[in-house]
Structure 1
Amino acid sequence: MNKAKNQNEPKHFDAIVIGTGITGGWASKELCEGGLKTLVLERGRMVEHIKDYPTMNDDPWDYKFKGQVTREELKRQEKQARTGYTINDASKHWFVDDIEHPYNEEKRFDWIRGYHVGGKSLMWARMSFRWSDLDFEANKKDGFGVDWPIRYKDLQAWYEKVEKYIGISGKAEGLPQLPDSIFTPEMPLNCVEEELREGVAANFDDRKIINSRVANLTDPDGREGRANCQFRNRCIRGCPYGAYFSSNSSTLPAAERTGNMTLRPNSIVHEIIYDEEQGKAVGVKVIDAQTKESLEFYSDIIFCCAGAIPTTSILMQSKSDRFPNGLGNDSGELGHNLMDHHFKVGATGKSDNHLEDYYKGRKPAGFFVPRFRNIDEKSKSNDFVRGYGMQGGASRSDWTKAIGELQYGKELKKAIVEPGEWQIGINCFGECLPYHDNKMSLNYDKLDEWGLPTITFDCEYKENEMAMRKDAKREAVAMLEKAGFKDVKGYEEPCFPGNGIHEMGTARMGRDPKTSVLNGNNQVHTVPNVYVTDGSCMASSASQNPSLTYMAITARAANHAVAEFKKRKF
């Protein structure tokens, strides 16, 4: 790729994109395809598709201790290791060093990060669901948070654009609370998952077992450089087939093909430059991560796509006479309303059926149960607002392998040479309300090695989330029991914000500049040439995995920016 990193590199561009993850890749693609000369800045190292996936073809026996890392290595990733995500030789290189990149906790926050080109698009669980108006209207109806300035109809065409491009395997179900996507063929349920589907259908009229909807290709037609999923379930390592969507295999190469993208890794953006006279942002301040040289780059448009926490950190550090508390922070909401899904609660069971049956390959998807609480008057709960969905899987080994958020970092306790009994598990993902006092802040007394303030988290799940978890556990047990499974046990493990890796809400969208940071086009209310489209823009969390919505929002905002640029609005 065209990488700018020399004495004579250009300083002015039409647009600057901060971050190369799921939203940064989409912003880069859409801006470049719109004809804008775009500088893409990534704070981490370069990662090229296929070339830089060192463990993509490794087998368990290729590792000295079956993938377990040493105590010395764990000390370098102590906070992330406590979640289980990084304790594996196959994937530890994607996760940051906690000692080099420290943060602070008023309350425990499991901040899971990947600093490299592609960001967490290389590491995500690929669950891809649309939101519905049930989600976009929730804040207004129940009074928590501020009203979203957009509705489902505003994103529908952008969902379609994104889905056609990335490829989502799944099946149409016609559920109003979970609108159907444009799908490639679904990954079929296995025989025991089908047993659960049939058992739930026979015993419940308010819920449904459906195929997971995942960004793993089952039909690569028209998607340049990408092939079908090979059912290896090694997605976390980087896929040499490009079978799952990532910035590295898809959007960044598309941006590169236009000739309009300049990609600069090892570039830590820490401030957006605001020009008081022009009343607009004019560029960014950057520290070269390797040389620690201070640099400035200039542009007409800036897209913040670094992630909910880094983006808001940049906005907070962008102080001026006009914005003494951070760029666009007239409302005082910058850094507040931090959300993440809660999970690690559900049920497990076993089946004596289908002992003669097995399955081929390692399907990187299981089943999904769309939200069934607080959808209408009939499903209303008196104990909590909003709702939860369920993910799960069945196998003749470890059912958690079907759940992206649970599978990574699992200790390899034994080599699987013979199929064991069938196990099945349900894991519930619940919505977190946008509480003003759940927040992040900057600590200028504890600086990182580049002299920048570290992040402090003060965030917790509250009464509504705890009540939701009780209901989720009870219903997961009931579903397995009524479907005929044996040894059914409910479980609830400790879960802290950040562990869901869906952090969002710290620079929320809204209709009123007095209570929000961004408008309905993801522009900073008072600095409209700055767009924020990563998780920080979210006004609520819904119960679905948010990445598909991030991508749709980003595509929509980038096309808005291109149109405004061509009208000379910037």
Structure 2
Amino acid sequence: MADAIVVGSGASGGVAALALAEAGLKVLVLEAGPELSAPRAFGSEPANTLKRLAAVNSGRQSLAAQHPGYWKANPDLYVNEWDNPYSTPEGQPFLWTRGRQVGGKSLTWGGITLRLSDAEFQAGERDGHGPSWPIRHADLAPYYERLEALLQIHGQCDGLPQLPDPTGAPKPALPLTPAEQHLQHCIHRDLDLPLIPSRGFALRRAADGPWPRSCSQGGALKAALATGRVQLQSEAVVSHVQVDPRSGRATGVEWIHARTRQHHNSAAPLVVLCASTIESLRLLLHSQQVGGLQEVSGLLGQGLMDHVSASCFFALPELPAPGATELSGAGSCFIPNTVNLGTPESEATDFRRGYGLWCGIQRFDPPQLLKRQRNAAVGFLIGHGEVLSRPENHVSLHSERTDAWGLPIAHIDCRWSANEERMVDHMQARMQAVVSSAGGRIAPLADLFVMPLIEPMVQGSLAMAAGAAPPGYYIHELGGAPMAASEERGVLNPWNQLWRTPNLLVCDGSAWPSAGWQSPTLTTMALSWRACAHAAEALKRGEL
């Protein structure tokens, strides 16, 4: 029997397996999808394009196709939506992007690695909306540092109090392109805004092996398997956590083989959910129905968040072309949040919380024949806006519909509030000011590129509509099982343990009490490492 079961093999699941294995535990990792080789996982062109067109035309991936990232990846890394349905209220879309395979969504992760600061951890104390986190940056700093070293993150010390520096980064920042340097100079001069190189990964080289470090198989899961104490079971669709009704302790999980549909039970004295936010909420809710799980706060499923997003494409006047050095990484650049920080330098606004702008210029130029302005430097700006946790945004189980394995599907009820709408207005005005400062022009994508095959699909997508894209679009869903300082205020304690079932950990984005504006993956991995290291020691002492 395993000492611990980890549900999910993506970014947080790989870290959980590594932390538990390094503590000497025998770990069983259950993954709902198949185990793919690297060539099969990433595919190649033009085969990927042909598969995308077939999947979208058939309706198997019509929701996934709403996101631009879908159009540059192998569609095999996105679920078949016929087998994996979910529901939303009429006229209220939520774009839930899922990847069921070993490595999960880490195989399509953008690789941005920004830490949260105490401005995010203590936001509730500052503006009075919702609880603050029961932990601070200092609690996660050692785990941030270990991850930055393990993953060989590129980044520099920018000295910004709202964005802690990557002290564990062994690699220098990836260079900006000439157009990004031009923008950096202009917005500092005209708008007093910082622009920093993004923190993340260099492009994979053949010498690095078949898997990039940004995915679980090239990072934490790889290191976990190398310990010899981790067993990986793919095609294991977990139904629910099993709980002893007398003690309240988790005893294991029930799972269904994805192809044979046979039911299995796996037992362990520690269970860790890393299935991704909405999937873990679905498992917890189903565990209440059939597994005997008790959750006393009444908050399970409530407070779902995603980052609110607005984006634009733009063209700058002719600038020097980037060389191979400038294009050596997937880093691009960032304009960090500068509003509502509670400091004299920070701008106060008519909305709560803040946002950052992700930027890239000269990084996705197609052949000249496909550019409508052949000498222009084309770029994008994408906002990362913090969404407030509100109980009316929630996940529940559909009362009738089930998926291909007979499990209740998630019903997702989430919409933007007036606070997010005001934030998007500010975000769009700032994007206009940023582009104008550099002498550029915002334009529709179709005015910048010739896209004969995909233009009708892209132009008709929900994400390209005016205003904010629908919830779920940014693939940063968070919340629903928040950690808190007391069981009345949250589903989990500060160590990611269910209050009444302490040998059940929830270590993905569902544990977040608030969203911050930064990309959540690095912080979720740090939370997972911290929680699992603590639980492993408690288990070995007989205290869990």
What TM-score results when the alignment is normalised by the length of structure 1? 0.85
Q: Which residue of 1 aligns with 2:355?
A: 388
Q: Which residue of 1 aligns with 2:447?
A: none
Q: Which residue of 2 aligns with 1:279?
A: 248
Q: Which residue of 1 aligns with 2:428?
A: 473
Q: Which residue of 2 aligns with 1:4?
A: none
Q: Deviation of residue 300 (structure 1)? A: 0.7
Change in 2 beyond 3 A, CA 1:496/1:442: same
2:225 to 252, 256, 265: 256
* Pairing 1:123-522 to 2, within 5 Å after superposition: 123-181=108-166, 182-183=168-169, 184-205=171-192, 207-214=193-200, 216-217=201-202, 229-230=204-205, 241-319=210-288, 327-346=293-312, 348-354=314-320, 357-360=321-324, 361=327, 363-375=329-341, 376-395=343-362, 398=365, 420-483=375-438, 485-488=439-442, 492-522=466-496
More deviation, 344-353/174-183:
344-353
Change in 2 beyond 3 A, CA 1:319/1:76: same
Q: Deviation of residue 203 (structure 1)? A: 1.8
Contact 2:178/2:319 (<8 A) preserved: no
2:270 counterpart SS class: strand
2:155 counterpart SS class: coil
For residue 105 of structure 1, what is the amino acid of its counterpart? Answer: T
Q: Distance in 2 between matches of 1:255 and 1:241?
A: 17
Post-superposition Cα deviations, 1:131-178, rounded to whole Å, max 9, x if no partner, equal 000000002222222221101111111111111111211211010000
Q: Distance in 2 between matches of 1:263 and 1:16?
A: 10
2:87 to 104, 107, 113: 104
Q: Distance in 1 between matches of 2:348 and 2:42?
A: 48
1:69 counterpart SS class: helix
Q: Which residue of 2 aligns with 1:34?
A: 23
For residue 181 of structure 2, what is the amino acid of its counterpart? Answer: E
Structure 1: 5+ residue stretches without partners:
1-11, 218-227, 233-238, 402-411
Contact 1:346/1:428 (<8 A) preserved: no
For residue 79 of structure 1, what is the amino acid of its counterpart? Answer: L
Q: Which residue of 2 aligns with 1:523?
A: 497
1:44 to 33, 38, 41: 33
Contact 2:213/2:219 (<8 A) preserved: no
Q: Percent identity?
A: 32
Q: Distance in 1 between matches of 2:103 and 2:41?
A: 12
Q: Which residue of 1 aligns with 2:67?
A: 83
Post-superposition Cα deviations, 1:369-388, rounded to whole Å, max 9, x if no partner, equal 11011122442433101000
Contact 1:396/1:419 (<8 A) preserved: no
Q: Deviation of residue 415 (structure 1)? A: 5.6
For residue 103 of structure 1, what is the amino acid of its counterpart? Answer: Y
Q: Distance in 1 between matches of 2:94 and 2:368?
A: 28
Q: Which residue of 1 aligns with 2:54?
A: 70
Structure 2: 5+ residue stretches without partners:
445-463
Q: Which residue of 2 aligns with 1:404?
A: none
1:303 counterpart SS class: strand
Contact 2:240/2:291 (<8 A) preserved: no
For residue 229 of structure 1, what is the amino acid of its counterpart? Answer: R
Contact 2:56/2:65 (<8 A) preserved: no
Contact 2:318/2:375 (<8 A) preserved: no
Change in 2 beyond 3 A, CA 1:241/1:396: closer
What is the root-mean-square deviation in Å for CA atoms of aligned residues?
2.6
Post-superposition Cα deviations, 1:441-482, rounded to whole Å, max 9, x if no partner, equal 101311122111011111011111110111111112112222
**Structure holding more helix per residue:** 2
More deviation, 545-554/364-373:
364-373
Q: Which residue of 1 aligns with 2:460?
A: none
What TM-score results when the alignment is normalised by the length of structure 2? 0.89
For residue 548 of structure 1, what is the amino acid of its counterpart? Answer: L
Contact 1:29/1:254 (<8 A) preserved: yes
Change in 2 beyond 3 A, CA 1:240/1:461: farther
Change in 2 beyond 3 A, CA 1:418/1:343: closer
Q: Distance in 1 between matches of 2:468 and 2:227?
A: 47
1:456 counterpart SS class: strand
Q: Deviation of residue 116 (structure 1)? A: 0.5
Change in 2 beyond 3 A, CA 1:396/1:32: closer
More deviation, 442-451/497-506:
442-451
Post-superposition Cα deviations, 1:228-266, rounded to whole Å, max 9, x if no partner, equal 73499xxxxxx9553432111222222222221111111
Post-superposition Cα deviations, 1:197-237, rounded to whole Å, max 9, x if no partner, equal 111121233x20110111x14xxxxxxxxxx73499xxxxx
Contact 1:47/1:118 (<8 A) preserved: no
Q: Which residue of 2 aligns with 1:121?
A: 106
Contact 2:359/2:379 (<8 A) preserved: yes
For residue 550 of structure 1, what is the amino acid of its counterpart? Answer: T
Change in 2 beyond 3 A, CA 1:305/1:496: same
